[in-house]
Amino acid sequence: MFDKKLYKFFILTIKGDFMDKNVQKVSATLLVGILAVLSFFILRPIGIAVISGVLLGFIFFPFYNLLNRKISNKTAAALIVCFLVILAIILPIWFLTPILLNQTIEIFISSQQIDFITPIKAIFPSLFVHEQISTEITQVISSFITKMTSGAMNMVAGFLINIPTLSLQLLVVLFVFFYVLRDKENFILYIKSLLPFSKEVEAKLFKTSKDITSSIIYGQFIVGVLQGFAIGVGFFIFGVPNALFLTILAIIAGIIPIIGTTIIWLPVVVYLFITGNTFMAIGVTVFGFFSNIIDNIVRPILVSKKSDIHPGVVLLGMVGGVFFFGIIGFILGPLVLSYFFIIMEIYRDKSPFQIFIHKPSS
């Protein structure tokens, strides 16, 4: 009888401990989930700014590392890099915004006065044989030009209206940027401590992620900017009207894979030929081809061949990223897709049990 009571007591004790542990585990998981959701909503308004700061930290870390070796002071080196980035952002905005606004207004006004229809009639006379069809085509062309120019003006006006909000976001970017530069090693160690991967998978994930990030940021962004700048030099040398405005558009287009700067300079060349500026058109064409060649020369220097990403993946990531994240989606979208493919490749090569064995704590 005594043995049975002792046995029952022992079983009940084990069950009680097991249930207590389950309750504690569920409670802890629930608490973490609630805090994660609250943290998401707290950081959501500044999420893009935080991500931008992290990306800036990645881009400028080599320069920070070089500067830190010279002065041997992490805080001072990070402050100097942040100050230089502030100058690089604010000075162009300060000087270029009035010029950009004036050129946008000029394009809007001139587009209402320039006769685009007559040159098109000369090139495609068969489209304008019937009077009704001719009138409809004329209306479509005029409406398209008006919408394009007014849309550009609305973008500039929206930028000016949102300057206070953008300034606050910029402060968050710089704050995150500073701490990512100064405390990068601690930041990486903390992230690694949270990942539930084995050391082998973790090492592969970080190395591949670094290569892909370099490929997108250095290969796509910087090369795109250089391409846009190159064609912009051609615009200025040959006196193309509204050269600054077109250069900014070319830089934006250069960042987008597959599309590139051709979508900007080719219509300009066609317009110059139509209006009789043959010499200018040939000159811009030469610079246009040069800007396209830059991609084949500069990209291998910035990015190793092993980290090259298919342009289709980058394009889909950029388009979807812009819709989901906003302008930062140009970079963040391809990163998310690339990281997804990394996990899928690891999952293909490893069993789930091998992937998610947590490394032993040191």
269: closest CA among 293, 238, 225, 230?
238
Q: What pLDDT was estimated at residue 140?
A: 67
Q: How many residues does the chain have?
A: 362
Q: How far is the C-alpha of 200 from the C-alpha of 13, rounded, in Å?
A: 41
Which residues are CB-neighbours of 224 under 8 A, at least 6 positions away? 251, 253, 254, 255, 256, 260
Q: What pLDDT was estimated at residue 5?
A: 59
Q: How far is the C-alpha of 208 from the C-alpha of 20, rounded, in Å?
A: 42
Is 93 inside any structural domain?
A: yes
Q: What pLDDT was estimated at residue 118?
A: 62
Q: What pLDDT was estimated at residue 189?
A: 83
pTM summary value: 0.62
Is 249 inside any structural domain?
A: no
- % pLDDT > 90, the chain: 4
Is 81 inside any structural domain?
A: yes
Is 231 inside any structural domain?
A: no
Residue 118, CA distances (Å) to 113, 155, 165, 281, 356 in order: 13, 30, 45, 19, 68
Q: Per-10-residue mean pLDDT for the chain, 362 residues long?
A: 56 54 69 85 83 83 88 90 85 72 64 59 61 63 65 66 78 89 85 76 74 73 86 90 84 76 83 79 90 74 61 76 76 78 75 58 50
Is 326 inside any structural domain?
A: no
- In the block, tokens 């009035």 appear at 98
Q: What pLDDT was estimated at residue 61?
A: 86
Tell me which DSSP letter residue 215 carries: I
* Tally of structural domains, the chain: 1
Residue 270 CB neighbour total at 10 angstroms: 13
Residue 109, CA distances (Å) to 194, 261, 352 in order: 57, 25, 63
Is 262 inside any structural domain?
A: no
Tokens representing 71 are 């002065």
Query: What DSSP string describes 30-90?
Result: HHHHHHHHHHHHHHGGGHHHHHHHHHHHHHHHHHHHHHHHHH--HHHHHHHHHHHHHHHHH
Is 43 inside any structural domain?
A: no
Is 144 inside any structural domain?
A: yes
Q: What pLDDT was estimated at residue 168?
A: 85
Residue 3 amino acid letter: D
Show the domain range for 184: 48-194
Whether 322 and 329 have beta carbons less than 8 Å apart is answered as yes
Residue 320 CB neighbour total at 10 angstroms: 15
242: closest CA among 268, 224, 274?
268
Instruction: Tell me the three state secondary structure of residue 296.
Output: helix
Q: How far is the C-alpha of 297 from the C-alpha of 219, rounded, in Å?
A: 11
Residue 312 amino acid letter: G
Q: How far is the C-alpha of 268 from the C-alpha of 275, rounded, in Å?
A: 11
Q: How far is the C-alpha of 63 from the C-alpha of 245, rounded, in Å?
A: 30
Tell me which DSSP letter residue 172 carries: H
